[in-house]
Amino acid sequence: MNLDLLSDRFLQRATRAFRCSDGSPLPLGPSLQSAGVNFSLFSRNATRVWLLLYETAEAREPCSIVQLDPRRNRTGDIWHIRVEGVGRGLAYAFRVDGPCAPEQGHRFAPERVLIDPYATALYAPPNWTFDEACGDRAQSQVRSLVTAPQFDWEGDRPLRLPWSETVIYETHVRGLTWHPSSRVNAPGTYRGVIDKIPYFKELGITAIEFLPLQEFNPDELTRVNPMSGERLTNYWGYSTIAFFAPHQGFGTRRYPGCQVDEFKEMVKALHQAGIEVLLDVVFNHTAEGDETGPTFSFRGLDNSIYYLLEDDKRSYKNYSGCGNTVNCNHPVVINFILECLRYWVVEMHVDGFRFDLASILSRDRSGRLIPNPPLLEAISEDPILRQTKLIAEAWDAGGAYLVGRFPGDGWSEWNGVYRDDVRRYWRGDQGMAGAFAQRLTGSADLYEHSGRSAVHSINFVTCHDGFTLNDLVSYEQKHNWANGESNRDGCDANFSANYGVEGPTDDPQIQRIRTRQMKNFLATLLLSRGVPMLLGGDEFCRTQRGNNNAYCQDNEVSWFDWRLVEQNRAMLEFTRGLLAFRARHQVVSRDEFYRPQDLSWFNACGWMPEWHSDAAIGCHFHCAMGGERQLCMLFNPTSHAVNFVLPHPPENDVWLKAIDTGATPPFDICAPGAEIPLFEQDSLLVWDKTLVVLLSDRDPRLK
């Protein structure tokens, strides 16, 4: 391509001249200044850069094209320019020229319109596409927007709730309120979340972890549902295109860029309710995919720096399973990620992050796992980020599984071992009692050796990636045919059970055992040391109809059907009761691990369990402090009732039955003061697939 002709063609399309000056290399990205905007863009290997300015965000053609002079508008590897007389709401983009030499790792494409990686908001028309067959027309629909930091936070500050008081609720901004039953003013948006705050408060959670909301393209998929013909979408959003920008589709679209203000409104409202905001962030790959994917930002700016490349430089290392892997431990990329995280904390008031496929963040430029990754250390030691909540999904698609061994101080981890062991124990798998005991008591076997505490374990039984709780006890196989991948996608090792029928059933016996098992999972989760994470909707038995990988299902498979709140009110009340019980009895939520003298385990006969053969086990917690009452927990995962010999309560106390998952409401979880005393009982019959919690209290006959 004749680059001079290309440049001339660009300039002929310009219709307006702006007064420009050299500008400053720092800060990177767009920065509002008095009577103008400074633009700063990193590209080490670029030879020419053009800044495209638009009259409106919707305009298809730029009103001005400014070619940057490398003598005046370049400092080191940074291209910069200041444009006078513009401000908030300005739509802009870049074109960048340089070597197109894939064998050297360079993929510059000056005909492509590029998004600013530091853009704090994007504008895109509905149903925009990444289809390469459209040439540059696809990317040219997307604009970077200049936003202003001004917002009335009304004194909002980080909540900094202790990990020991934290209960996380994982949800999706759109799916939470898009269903007609949600009855909110702005369904599927940040404002819709605000309308659900009273529900969250009544439930008792303290933090919301949102699935990705950094800008992504929901319409990037080209497949259809083979069962309905419906176009599939990138619903979950694990395919980021702009890391500083909140997703436009979760805003009301009142004006271009309104999503920034509306996100801030949501955070402020949640903080006022005492609820922290955690973001699921995806720094392991981008939506540009493999070498056949679209070019919209990083690939066209400096492909060889932003991505891990194979030895031939033409193709990408793929530890993410999504076509490419970000070169996370390159100094330039480290700086980008740190600045992005700081932006979300300082400007957007976010309280913490869950890092998707975080093991990738510990890979060096050759893709090897390294013991002290610069990025992870930089995040955990950063003076702004170190006091935020940092959560790692400690595995990746390249085979790394670092649960219990994730490098870097200050990181908590999604404990996938907890999920699997708890599922297998309650399913009735043999030899799981010892592993279950470890998970209940904080997973010291995974974390204590490195000097970490119980709250480094983020405990969960279900999450977005897998079965819902209802489906976990209703399906033995995944049912992902609607995803258009011949049911090959999604995890096969679900450790689930259906108890006689695959899917929904009217059989009362099967319904009874499924309900009991859901209560067992919820009770185990909220009685375990470590930080519990609930999958949103599990508290009222939400189902995905057996789909354990609903990443592309923007429909009733994924949306919260709020009618289930009334249909399954008993499960919701049970969950609320558990959360309140956990808050009252801090013995189960303290940071530290239990000491040997803090508790004693026993089997049904009252003896020390044979961990590889006994299934029904009990635990007496002696470590009541500050006036707390002692607890005794009894677990029976077998298919028959078990009579437990009970330990003695403290002198002058009796055991009160507070929780019994085998009982009908309201006796499944008793309100404070309504617990059932076990007078002069040396033993207790615990029904099949049942968990019982006893609470010590002064014998009322002695009061």
Residue 547 corresponds to which tokens in the numbers above? 């789909």
Check if 566 is active-site.
no
* Burial (0-12, 13-18, 19+ Cβ within 10 Å), 194: buried
d(C-alpha 464, C-alpha 483), whole Å: 15
CB 594 within 8 A of CB 442: yes
Structure token digits, residue 697: 């209290």
Beta bridge partners of 653: 698
* Region at 86 (left for phi over 0; alpha for psi -120 to 50; beta for the rest): beta
Q: Which of 195, 356, 614, 668 is catalytic?
A: 356
Token pair, residue 235, equals: 């619903």
Q: Report whether 330 contacts 360 (CB < 8 A).
A: no
Instruction: Mark whether 492 is an active-site residue.
Output: no
- 376 phi and psi angles, rounded to 5 deg: -65, -40
* Helix residue ranges per DSSP H, 124-242: 136-139, 173-177, 190-195, 197-203
What are the CA-CA distances from residue 231 to residues 190, 217, 220, 649 (Å)? 25, 14, 10, 61
Task: Assign residue 63 a region (left: φ > 0; alpha: ψ between -120 and 50; beta: otherwise).
Answer: alpha
Strand pairing report for 599-603 and 653-660 = unpaired
In DSSP notation, 380-429 reads: HH-TTTTTSEEEE--B-TTS-B-TTT--STT-EEE-HHHHHHHHHHHHT-
Beta strands 631-636 and 617-621: pairing type?
antiparallel
From the candidates 288, 393, 421, 697, give the one annotated as an active-site residue.
393
Contact 122, 245 (CB under 8 A): yes
Catalytic positions are 356, 393
